[in-house]
Chains A and B, each alone.
Chain A
Amino acid sequence: MSTDLIHPGNPVEPFLRTDRMPHIWCPGCGIGTTVNCFSRALIESCMNVNDMAIVSGIGCTGRVAGYVNLDSFHTTHGRAIPFATGLKLANPKRQVVVYSGDGDLFAIGGNHLIHAARRNIDLKVICVNNLIYAMTGGQTGPATPGDVITSTAPYGTFDPAFNLPYLTEAAGAVYVARWTTFHVRQITKTMQEMFSKKGFCFLEIVSPCPTLYQRRNKMGDGLDTMKYYKAMSKVKHGANTKDVPLSRQGEIIVGKFVDIERPNYMELMRNKLHDSLGEQYVETDELTCEEATSCSDCS
């Protein structure tokens, strides 16, 4: 996207750091599409952007935090979820969104993801799954399907891939959905729904990487991927997550798979400490420390 393509009056413009354009993503990449959906979800949910913070890890998707005009954190590889956990616990009223890649969230960060889901930390996790480690040059990732050629699997992958919704549900997420970048309206709606849901929510967005995935696997360009997503996606709300693995060119089951209620970490903590400590428990909404400006008042 170049600067002159951002029209004055473009509704998503206030949500973007337009002074950082052009962005680094390749033509045909799906990440920008997801950011557009995210901005629209913010608008449509009438959220005050000041109430939201976004945390990314490292990778092409990890760069999202740098382009949205929110309190935004580009952390270390795999650690967006624990950073977001600290942010959320110190500031429970804030909506904290984690936005990162499949490799970042499920390989190096896999341990953090399952534990945050287990604890039901109130985070909205958006995973752009391009089926590959893109930023480092197209290596095999934890979500790469079998028989795909990658730069580290020149004869085709053979190590089994994670089924991300199945894993996330098993770990304890209260909300699990999947769409592809063909489903822009559904993505926007799902994001809105996540913003109003308490607890660990997970959205997988299957997204093209024309540069390193499609090309190497002779799957055409971004437009061909859209045609594939359109033809092969089947909406099955409530599908058993066990039945939704992705394959190289097979069916893509999309929809909302999980939407349950379960107390989140903050509620569990408060209840337990209330029960055990009674009057002695000092509940906090924010852990914000004193400001320097109060200095002169006391000394």
Chain B
Amino acid sequence: MQADPAGVLTGSHFLDGDHACCEGALAAGARFSSGYPITPSTEVVERFAARVPTVGGTFIQMEDELAASITLQGAVWGGAKAFTVTSGPGFSLMMEHLGYAVMTETPCVFVNVQRGGPSTGLPTLPAQGDMMQARWGSHGDYEIIALCPNSPQECFDLTIKAFNYAEKYRVPALVMLDEVVGHMTEKVVIPTADQIEVEPRHFTTKDPNNFHLYAPDENGAPEMAHLGQGYSVHVTGLTHDERGYPNMTPQTQDSLMKRLKNKILDHVDDIVLYEEQDVEGAEVVVVSYGITSRVAQRAIDMAKDRGLKVGKFRIITAWPFPEKQIREIASKVKGIVVPELNLGQMVREVERAANGQCRTKLVPHAGGTVHRPEDILNAIVEVLR
């Protein structure tokens, strides 16, 4: 389906990442957002609050993130496409409702503009410290989809992707910016509505009498039902059967948990996005994401100037992790260098995927600013030594 032109601000704009993210949400069809202010994410909903009444929709500022992250789910069941936006401390508060969205298969988007932590940490300064929280922060076993833009343009593009994935797989999708990407201003090109592919909500056309709210279709994700049309849906965060009725048997838990995971894991090839450069023939590959990938580019260029054979792999989909791609790289290179604005999070996944086939070297940074390219360069040199 193509985007509704009402929400698409076609043209070339000079936007920061937060504003571009808001435009992406509007283009994707989001007509509802509930938020609670937190730096450095608030600009997303500030723009939404200004724009959405002219498009036909609602923004509500809730009393806290616990509320924000469940209000949007009510709106989704009410029929809207909806998202919320936050940063570290707010993201921590949203974790129970990330789980609720997973369990109830509520298609929605959480945007997290990451800042330094733990706790209140560095309110106005960057980090990539929530990468593991995104994956493991809620309790129980689950899969979510998380995307990492590295430019305002990608904040626009990937926010649309996140909404599309959310609808397609009935899963909460996360857009993981960092403060620098959220606040950097660059050219953002917004195409015309007919050039923007939007995944519609998959509402059932079945008769209410033979419709089961949680019976998966061949893709693994069930269809949704319109409220008020006699489906009498029952939605619960408890372990449930296909009708949505609570059922506490280990068998139901087992099959539900596996289905919720597999509807994502069976489609990794559709979901995993990445960017590769000069990986073929490289002796070392730098694996990075978000703002760090742009600093890494500088280090890679410096290394190439010295005649080193360096490739670049940029993680765009962080979760599910591009495991296959990293394993393949690891089988061909001497080493992988992983700069991160944290003291080591995604590097664990890289190591797991590399499975000892090559050296992996973390270039940690506790956040507050970006890496010095020299530090990444030094790590490249060291791995080759």
Contacts and interface: CB of A to CB of B under 8 A. Distances in A.
Contacts of B195: none
B263 interface: no
A280 B100 CA distance: 36
Contacts of A115: 62-63, 67
Most interface-central of A53, A72, A86 (chain B CB within 10 A): A86
Interface stretch (A27-35, A63-71, A150-158, A177-185): A63-71
Contact of B228 (A17, A51, A82): A51
Nearest to B62: A82
B71 interface: yes
Interface stretch (B74-82, B182-190, B311-319): B74-82
Interface in A267-297: 269, 273, 277, 280-284, 286-295
B93 to A, nearest CB: 11
Nearest to A93: B228
B17 interface: no
Interface residues on A, range: 35 or more
Most interface-central of B62, B74, B205 (chain A CB within 10 A): B74
Contacts of B268: none
A223 to B, nearest CB: 30
A277 B54 contact: yes
A56 to B, nearest CB: 9
Contacts of A75: 70, 100, 237
A40 interface: no
Contacts of A287: 31-32, 56-58, 75, 78-80
A73 interface: yes
Nearest to B231: A71
Interface in B1-49: 1-2, 4, 6, 29, 31-32, 34
B70 A86 contact: yes
Given A20-B245, A69-B232, A111 B97 contact: no
Nearest to B201: A289
A73 B216 CA distance: 20
A75 B245 CA distance: 13
A292 B64 CA distance: 33
Contacts of B2: 298-299
A166 interface: no
A90 B75 contact: yes
B234 interface: yes
Interface in A73-131: 73-76, 78-79, 82-91, 94, 111-112, 115
A83 B70 contact: yes
B332 interface: no
Given A51-B228, A75-B70, A287-B57, A94 B78 contact: yes
A277 B231 CA distance: 38
Contacts of A136: none
Contact of A111 (B64, B100, B235, B238): B64
B100 A76 contact: yes
Given A66-B246, A85-B74, A292-B201, A76 B96 contact: yes
A55 interface: yes
B55 interface: yes
Contacts of B264: none
Contact of B58 (A53, A74, A90): A90
A2 interface: no
Most interface-central of A78, A82, A115, A277 (chain B CB within 10 A): A82
Contact of B235 (A49, A73, A91): A73
A70 B55 CA distance: 31
Interface in B241-274: 245-246
B70 A82 contact: yes
B114 interface: no
A111 B32 CA distance: 22
Contacts of A91: 78-79, 227-228
B9 to A, nearest CB: 14
Most interface-central of B53, B55, B232 (chain A CB within 10 A): B53
Contacts of A69: 232
Interface string B67-106: 1101111111111111000000000000011001000000
Contacts of A295: 1, 200
B80 A288 contact: yes
A196 interface: no
A284 B57 contact: yes
Given A89-B58, A292-B200, A74 B75 contact: no
Contact of B55 (A73, A269, A282, A292): A282
A86 B233 contact: no
A50 B73 contact: no
B337 to A, nearest CB: 41
A282 B63 CA distance: 26
Given A50-B230, A90-B75, A292-B202, A76 B82 contact: no
B3 to A, nearest CB: 10
18 contacts: A72-B234, A79-B97, A82-B74, A83-B74, A85-B62, A88-B78, A89-B75, A90-B32, A90-B75, A115-B62, A115-B67, A282-B54, A284-B31, A287-B31, A287-B78, A287-B80, A289-B200, A299-B2
Kindly list the 3 A-B residue pairs having the minimum CB-CB distance in the complex, ordered from nearest. A86-B74, A90-B78, A288-B79
Given A69-B232, A71-B231, A72-B232, 7 more contacts: A66-B236, A82-B71, A86-B74, A89-B58, A89-B60, A90-B58, A115-B62
